[in-house]
Amino acid sequence: MADEAGSIGCEGGIAEDVVGMAVGVDDIADRLAGAGAHRGEQGLAPAPAAAVWASTLEDGRVVATRLFAEIDEGYPDGPCVDAEGCVWVSLFAGWGVRRYDPSGALMQTIRFPVANITKIAFGGPDLRTAYAATAAKGLSSEAHTQQPLAGALFAFDPGVAGIPGVLAQV
């Protein structure tokens, strides 16, 4: 999703950086790379239960895929990339968002008072406000009572700017 100027966009579970590395959550990049259930057949180790995958792109095609980060709490959802090339991943059923450096090392975790974070994005005039969308869907009555802000949109200062998205014509 990068344009000629190297801008980055991230929608629908895949974020692409300026050097052509795409990061997908769960099995999205895995499916793009033809791995998934076929990893064992390809002589690769079984995929972790929850993971973020990074794929190298050339001319818009996936040419290599690697495990970027294993997720031990919740399920990865809605990633995006910041101006430093770090990947932010929302955690559905994980109570937060995580920031990973370009190699996949965990740098930061930001906790929320709700379990289901579905998407993180940068906004504001200088892209220095992070927004985290959350979900109430699937919560029991008891869980919803304990998480009255489930379904809300949160804003916070991430300490780093985002990267402008790119409009696409489909």
Give the active site residue among 17, 77, 126, 157.
77
Instruction: Assess whether 126 carries a catalytic annotation.
Output: no
Q: Which are the contacts of 130, defined by CB distance < 8 A and separation ≥ 6?
A: 88, 97, 120, 121, 122, 123, 155, 156, 157, 158, 162
The Cα–Cα gap between 96 and 137 comes to 16
Element (H, E) at 31: helix 28-32
The Cα–Cα gap between 80 and 72 comes to 19
Query: 13, 22 in Cβ contact below 8 A?
Result: no
Between strands 106-111 and 96-100, the pairing is: antiparallel
Active site residue ranges: 77
